[in-house]
Each structure stands twice: as C-alpha cells, then as structure tokens.
Amino acid sequence: MTWAQTLPGLAAMTALMVGPGWGMLRLLGLRGLVALGPAATLTVALSAGWAVVLGALGVRWGLATFLLGMLLGAAACAGLGHVLGTAPWRTAGLVDDAADAAADLTERAGPSAAAPRAGRSVAARRARPPRTPDRSTLLSAPGAVLQPAPLARPHLVLAVVAAAVATGLYVVAMTRGIGVPDRPSQVWDGVFHLSAIQTVREYGDASAFGGLAPLYDYGYAPFYPTGWHSVVAVVPFLPSVPAAVNASIVVVGLLWTLSVAGLVRATWPTLPVAAAAAPVLAHSFLALPVGLITQMGQFPYTYAHVLLPGLLTLVVLAVRNLPDVRATAAPALPAAVAAFGLALVHGSAWFSTLVLTAPLLVATAVGAFRRLRRTDRRLPVAVAVWSAAGLAVLASVPLLADGVVESVQAFERPGDDGYDWILTSLLVDRPLRSFGGYELGGLDSLAQVAISGLAVGGAVLVWWLRRGRWLAVGLVVTVTLTAVSWGPADHPLRWATGVWYSETMRLDALVVICAAPLAAAALAVLVRDGVALASGVLAARRGRGAGGSRGAGDKGDGREAAGAAGVRRRRTEVVVAGALLVVLVVGSGGLRHTLRTYHAVESFVPGHLTYRMLAGEGELDLFRRADELLPEDAVVLGDRFRGTPYWYSMGGVDVVYPHLAGPRGPDGQFLLARFDEIGENPEVCTVVERLGVTHFWTNTRDTGPAPWHQMAPLGDPTLFTFRPGDGFELVATGGHGELWEITACD
C-alpha cells in the first residue's frame, strides 16, 4: 500500500472531521477562522456523545449512523440559530464594517467602564460607527455574534501560505517516518488503540460506556473514552486499521493548524498577522502533536488536546459577547458540547480545559463585580453569573466520576532530583524521550529558543494589550505543572499532576497550547510596531525634504493619502512577517524536519526501534495475509510482546490477548502460567477448548542484545519462552515469526 492509495481516505477523514462542525457553527452565525478552527472540535465531540446514545439504544455504529448524528446536530444548530437570531439568514445584509467593540466587552470584565448605559440597547451599541477602518477588527451587526471580521487579502494570502507550508512539512515528516501507510505503531498505547479500532468496526459499538468491552475480561462493561475511535473507525476508503490510524496521524497536522489559528484570531482580532503566523509557530513545537502521537502512541490524548484550542476559541467568543444572552449562547452552547465531548475523547482534556479557562472565567466574573458601582447592576451581574456557572460546571463534573479521578491520580511515576533538565528542555523544546545522537546546539536549537523567547515575551506583552492575559497565566501554570511532574516524587504539588498521570510529556502539550498563540501575538506586535516606526521615520524625512505644508483644500487628498498609506503599511507588515517566517523555517531546518521524522521512525519502523520492537517486516506481512492463512473461526494464542495483538488489529483474527495490558479472566491467567504443560496437563486443553484457541504464535527473535532485550522482562515467562514441539503443526513463517496449529488437544 502506498500513500497515494490513501489519498481518498485522507480526504474523506478531513471532510468528515471538519465539514460537519464547520456547517453547524456557520448555522449558529460564526464565520471565518473562528468557525473553521473549532469545526473538528465540535464534530469529534458530537460524535463521541452520539456514539454513547446509540450504544445505549443498541443501534450499530457505522458511517451511516455517524452521518445521521451530524445531520441531527446541523438541524439543531439551524433551529438554535433561528431562535437566537444569529443564523446567517437572520442577519443577512445587516453586517456592517468591522468595529472593535471588544473594548466594551473585554475578557477582564464583560462591559467596560466606558460602556454605554443601559438605556442603549446591545444592538444600538453594536451598530455604532467603527473606531477604525481596519477590517482586521471585530465584525458585528444587530443580532449577530460579535466576532473577528474576515482577514484582508494580504493577511489571508499569508495565512494560507503559512498554513500550507507548516502543515505540509508536518505531513512530509510523518509520512516519511512511518514509511508504509499500513505499518502499525509498535508503542504500548498504540497497540491498544489499533485493537480498539478493530473492536469498534467488528462489534459496531463506539460508546465510551462499554464499547471496548470485548478487549477486556472484567465481566462488565468498563468506561473508556472512545471519541477519537468513533470517527476513525468509520472513515471510508481505509479498510486497513493501521492505515486508518496512520491517516489520523497525518490529518491531525491540519487540525492543529486550524485550531491554533482560530484561537489566535478570536483572542487578538486587531492582530491579523498573529493569526497568519500562528500555523508556523504552532508546528515548530515537538510535544504536540508530534511527540505524543508518535513516541507515546497516545492518539486520543493527542486529538483531545489538538482540538482543545478550538474549544477555547468558542469560550473566548462567548465571553466577548457577554452579557447579550443570545449572542453569548451561540458560541457558548457548542463550547459546552465540545467540553463534554472532548472528555469522551480523553478524560484528561476536561482538566486541561479547567486549567486553561479558569483564569479567563474568574477574571471576567471578578471584573464584572468591580463595575457594579459604575454601571447598570444587571449587566455585570449577568456576566458574573454566566462565568461562575461555567467555572462551577467544569470544576464539579469530575466529582461525579466516582473512583476514576482517584485511580488516575494513584498512578505512580518516579521523579527526578531537580528541575534544571526539564526547564532547559522546555526552553529549547528538546524531545522528552531519548534519541540517539540528539544534542543541543546548532541553528535549529537557536531558532526554537527564539520562539520560546517570543512566547515568554508574548506572556508579558498581553498585559499591555489587555487581551489574552489568561493565556499568560496558563503558560505559567502549565510550565509549573510540567516541572513538578518531572521533579521529586514527594513534591507537595505532585498530586495536582495526577489527572495527567504525572506524565511530563502530556503536560508539555498544555505548555505548547499556551506558548504557540503567545508567540504569534508577540511576533505580530513586533512586526506592526517595527513597520510603524520605520514608516514614521521615512515619513518624517520626506516631510523635511518637501519643506512645505498642505493647505486646507488638500484635506481630502490627505485622507486619501492616509488610506493609501494604511494599505501600504498592511502589505509591508505581511511582507516583513512572511520574511521572518521564512527565516524561521529555513533556520530551523524545516521546523526540525529530520528530528520530527525520527519521532515516527522510532515508533513505526522495525529495525530502527530503540526499544519495544514487537514484530519485524516479515511478521507484519503474515498479519496482513491472515485471511489466507487462517480459517474464520481461528483464535490465536501467543505472548503479547511477540506481536500477537497484531493478528487481531491487522488481520481481524480473534486472539486471547488483544493488547499489551494483559488478560483479566482466570482462563487467560491460567494459560499464561501453565500453557507449557500442554499434552501433559488435561486442564490446559480444557481451557484451550473453552476459549476456542486453534493456533499458537511466536517468534524466534534473539532477546539478548538491544533493541530486543527490553522485551524479555515484559513478556510472560511461560508464553514468551515457549517453543512448540509435539502437538503442533507449522502453518507459516515470516521473518522470525512462526504460526503453529495446535493439534495436541484434538
């Protein structure tokens, strides 16, 4: 299989993830980047919830039922948009020139001290003349949602080019690193999720409440977030499970581009260069999505946090439209759906949402109460109630998940003696897992230090901009949590990192979510002020050279000249920003293209894995030909760390142990310990027949030298070392792998 053959599947996956959510947000009245950025967030979140409903009703999950759910969601959004008065057909023809009305509805306090008194309606306030002709500010109309205006053409061109380059470099790195589209991840978590996708396809249940029950032997249906699985499992044109999973690795690069650009556009509408530059700066970081989705194999966690900026975009818009109930509800309601839905993609996303939105919601409520004496009491009270309600829901819902939070926090992870290494690693965005030969230094490290400097500078800058301060607070909090997760295990704040399994790389993803937008804002301000300063100096020199002044009759010409100067200034900003981005991309070696490629190579390519190799190319070919080698009722037994789960995820053949976490039932435990007694102990054949086991799989790979020696202690001693003899017939071999038919129990 080639990547060219996956193009229809890649296009279908992109359309299924982005299209439905974008359509729903458009029906609610959102436009442009702030509708495109959160589109996949809403799609995946709604899919996760719809899968739970269908699972409870006993309706099979598939492409048709997925599309039905999206159609129902679109119908609901159309109805809401009509009732709220924010739908496009309710505001058509009313949208005027952009007006930066956010000064009256800041993130700090809802209505500002300078806001009009209650005697003026919200519609009247929004219809007032714009303070600036710059169409990069906020677009509004009576009854419409206050949101950024469309990007001017120069900024739009820069945004499209930057997005294409950044996303393209990511796609090339991932496809080169993975190599073969249907080559499976050999990372612990990746093996599980491959089997999970096969389970959803086989049983037609993508509910988080029991959809993956066939993977376990608990005796009941366990909870496991399946929002990512629900979409990937139904994408057409990708019949191979590994190909579908790898396609999601490619597509997530585009989703990351859109979600960050949307967040930046919503947060700083007067900085269009920031939204245009955001894709390059976002893709310059390693932790998200590259590190998590390759080295860690945490596909749901990666998707939940790549889509999180989309949720934050909707929250920013909701706060900006306070206290107008209708205009606030248009982004707030999909934000609520997204919050619950992302928790069904990965539970940690709920806590990530709480950490990042709490500063924004608290500041909004506190600022509103401070204005009680200076404006109509109803407005700030409404702002405070909306904000407090959102924060209360985010904080209280985890308490309903009895035992889940405690079990996650109880996960033990060793710590380090100090914080120097992790703080340095965050500064240069060093891989948090070992790469042979990777050391600091060179232009690529210097380029990343410059980006980190922009992020830190942006965190300071937003206090002057009076917009986006919550991201600066988020950066400080997430860096602190990341350092604590790395540091001594007895740190008094270590418990706070437990909901992310105290995993440094998971928390580093939150740092990136804050750092990338802040760096984009800083770059935009540097470009804007630098161009303005240079233009002022040049204008002053030309004025001195002219030696005269304009008369009163030249006022009209002066205004035209000022307008033309503004157009030239914006074009100059775009050119300067584009040049800086080119320097950044080239200086960093194509956004550290080689290093990002190595991330994928280490997790996918046999013979290059530094550890955890489960199967070689010859064995993978056998798994792909399972339907030729095995009957439909075959059940394969074998050690998990010899690659046995791939018979299920790649070949669709039932296995006793479908993932690396191990068996749960007594029969599975018995075979782990006693299978080598087959032919001698009749109870072994009794269990084999009860489970329907027909074949045994193993490989003869040396477990002594690296990289395979690390697998030996992970394997179960009996199955890992067992060599078939009498009572077994060899069916096929491939690489070091051997497939045997069990005849000892005939």
Inter-residue contact 148 to 266 (CB < 8 Å): yes
pLDDT digits (tens, 9 = 90+) for 98-113: 334 433 333 333 333 3
Burial category of 321 from C-beta neighbours within 10 Å (exposed 0-12, middle 13-18, buried 19 and up): buried
In terms of DSSP bridges, do strands 635-638 and 654-655 run parallel, antiparallel, or are they unpaired?
A: parallel
CB 598 within 8 A of CB 295: no
Task: 23-26: list long-range contacts, CB under 8 Å, 24+ apart.
Answer: 23/74, 23/77, 24/73, 24/74, 24/77, 24/334, 25/77, 25/334, 26/88
Sign for the CA dihedral angle at 706, 710, 713, 714 comes to negative
Task: Quickly state the pLDDT bin for 78 (edges 50, 70, 90).
Answer: very high
In eight-state DSSP terms, residue 184 is P
Q: Please tell me the distance from the alpha carbon of residue 1 to that of residue 21, in angstroms, as a whole number.
A: 31
Q: Judge contact between 361 and 419, C-beta under 8 A.
A: no
**Residue range 141-147: average pLDDT?**
75
Instruction: Compute the distance between CA of residue 292 and CA of residue 120 in angstroms, rounded to an integer.
Output: 51
Residues 6 or more apart whose Cβ sits within 8 Å of residue 283: 166, 167, 169, 170, 253, 256, 257, 591
Give every strand in the sheet of 654-655, ordered side by side: 654-655, 635-638, 695-699, 737-742, 728-734
Number of Cβ atoms within 10 Å of the Cβ of 516: 30
CA-wise closest residue to 133 among 718, 564, 524, 477: 564
What is the length of the chain? 746
Per mean pLDDT, which range of 401-415, 516-530, 582-596 is the poorest?
401-415
The predicted structure's pLDDT at residue 437: 54
**Which of the pair, 223 or 81, is modelled with greater confidence?**
81
pLDDT band at 578 (very low <50, low <70, confident <90, very high): very high
Q: What's the CA gap between 660 and 186, in Å, rounded?
A: 11
Is residue 311's pLDDT more than 80? yes
Euclidean distance between the first and the last CA atom of the chain, given in angstroms as a whole number: 39
CB 151 within 8 A of CB 272: yes
What pLDDT digit, counting tens, does each position of 326-349 carry? 898 999 999 999 999 999 999 899
Q: Cβ atoms within 10 A of the Cβ of 609, count?
A: 20
Flag the least confident range among 4-18, 299-313, 435-449: 435-449
pLDDT of residue 532: 86
Dihedral in degrees, nearest 10, Cα atoms 449, 450, 451, 457: 110
Least confident range from 67-76, 129-138, 516-525: namely: 129-138
Concatenated DSSP letters of 433-466: S--TT--S-HHHHHHHHHHHHHHHHHHHHHHHHT
Query: In this model, does residue 563 exceed pLDDT 70?
Result: no
| Token output for 212 | 């993956």
pTM above 0.75, yes or no: yes
As a whole-number percent, the residues of the chain with pLDDT over 70 amount to 80
> Which of these ranges, 14-28, 251-265, 493-507, has the smallest mean pLDDT?
493-507
Kind and range of the H or E element at 654? Answer: strand 654-655
Instruction: Indicate if the alpha-carbon torsion angle 707, 709, 714, 717 is positive or negative.
Output: positive
Range of lowest pLDDT (347-361, 455-469, 660-674, 699-713): 699-713
pLDDT tens digit sequence for 586-625: 999 999 999 999 899 988 998 776 556 789 999 999 999 9
Burial of 133 (0-12, 13-18, 19+ CB in 10 A): exposed
* pLDDT-derived band at 399, boundaries 50, 70, 90: low
* Segment 216-224 long-range contacts (CB within 8 Å, at least 24 positions apart): 216/664, 217/663, 217/664, 217/665, 217/668, 218/664, 219/665, 223/404, 224/196
Question: What's phi and psi for 535, nearest 5 deg?
Answer: -65, -40
The Cα–Cα gap between 449 and 455 comes to 10
715: Cβ contacts below 8 Å, ≥ 6 apart: 639, 640, 641, 642, 721
Q: How confident is the model at residue 720 (pLDDT cuts 50, 70, 90)?
A: confident
Write down the mean pLDDT value for the chain.
Answer: 85
Q: Are strands 110-111 and 147-148 parallel, antiparallel or unpaired?
A: unpaired
Residue 454 tokens read as 């922009």
